[in-house]
């Protein structure tokens, strides 16, 4: 059969996809929220790393001495545990934010 230019094969070409401005605004808001969450978690991770490193380096000092003198350790440990709980809350909030997105 010879070529017939008026034959329609049932397809057409679309122009650029139409993106609603509200979709772009929502996407930008989600990006900003997630970026803030990542920054908060990075800061919390740095804080935990720094504090744990300090603790371990101090415990490592004078390995020849069998006894560690640690006055007021309950207060220091309680403070550190509070900071870890704050980190946990930040992590839980970021998980909730991700699930809501």
Phi, psi angles (nearest 5°) of residue 75 = -65, -45
**Tens digits of residue pLDDT in 60-101:** 888 888 888 889 999 999 998 998 888 788 777 767 766 766
Residues 6+ apart with CB under 8 A from 37: 93, 94, 97, 98
pLDDT at 101: 60
What is this structure's pTM? 0.57
Q: Output the pLDDT for position 22.
A: 87
Q: What local confidence, expressed as pLDDT, does residue 34 receive? A: 92
Report residue 21: phi and psi, to 5°: -60, -35
**CA separation, residue 14 to residues 17, 18, 28, 97 (Å):** 7, 10, 26, 36
């Amino acid at each position: 059969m010879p070529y017939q230019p008026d034959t329609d094969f049932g397809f057409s070409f679309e122009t650029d996809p139409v993106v609603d401005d509200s979709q772009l605004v929502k996407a930008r808001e989600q990006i900003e929220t997630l970026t803030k969450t990542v920054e908060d978690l990075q800061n919390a991770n740095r804080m935990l790393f720094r504090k744990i490193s300090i603790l371990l380096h101090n415990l490592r000092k004078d390995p020849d001495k069998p006894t560690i003198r640690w006055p007021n350790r309950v207060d220091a440990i309680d403070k550190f545990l509070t900071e870890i709980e704050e980190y946990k809350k930040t992590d839980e909030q970021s998980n909730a934010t991700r699930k809501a997105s």
